[in-house]
Amino acid sequence: MKLSISKSESNRMINYIQQKDEFDYLINLIESLEEGNSIGILLNGPPGTGKTLLAISLANYFYASYYMIDGSPDLDRRDIEGNWELIQGDTHFNYGPLTRAIFDANENGIAFIQTIGGNTSKTRGDAWSNKYLFPSGMIPSTAQIGKAMEGIFVAEDWHNFGPDYDKTFMAWHQNFEKAWPELKKTYDERFYRIWRYYLLLCAGAFRSRYLQLWQIVMTRPGTEQPNVRIS
């Protein structure tokens, strides 16, 4: 799943600040706030440099929200985006810091999601994929995405590019086979079989329409509908 934030009818964006020294955060923050052209600030740097304290202080001063992601070695995308959880036989989506930030970014914000989707609701992913590639992964259905959005987002546009992903996976497979003579110097035959099977399996799943590729545009309830039909 991929997520991004934009601001309708504006050039405002989320500013990214990478620490260089102990004064770098403060200098860049002052410049960003003075320019007033951002709807958010992303701090990134090593532990112990005051990022959390600075974020909390600024959030309290400006009555804003802040979100923290611990970049530990076992960091998983679900720690950032959120995860699906099975509770008493029903699926529930736990929003992560990134998905919460998208909702809180601003009242006129637009959220964009690209995700692989399934035709039926399930509570667990494919056994082979879970074992070899995506542990605890699960492909959502339209019903599950709709339930996660309910009361939080308004679906403005929903496109399906599934058949195109068949061509994409076949192109990846062709590139993989072409590069294998060089790759096999580093990876073994087991790696080759797993990735070849994965690429062809996914191509077949999209070709048969078993899997879909959705791009969804969302806004917050009560906001003006953006122009999502620009070609």
Residues known to be catalytic: 202
Whole-number Å distance between alpha carbons of 95 and 149: 10
The amino acid sitting at 132 is Y
Whole-number Å distance between alpha carbons of 220 and 151: 9
Which of 45, 3, 47 lies closest to 25, judged by CA? 45
- Whether the CA torsion 11, 12, 14, 19 is positive or negative: it is positive
199: left (phi over 0), alpha (psi -120 to 50) or beta: alpha
* Cβ neighbourhood burial of 30 (10 Å; 0-12, 13-18, 19+): exposed
What interhelical angle do 24-35 and 51-62 show, nearest 10? 20
Whole-number Å distance between alpha carbons of 10 and 190: 50
Whole-number Å distance between alpha carbons of 102 and 95: 10
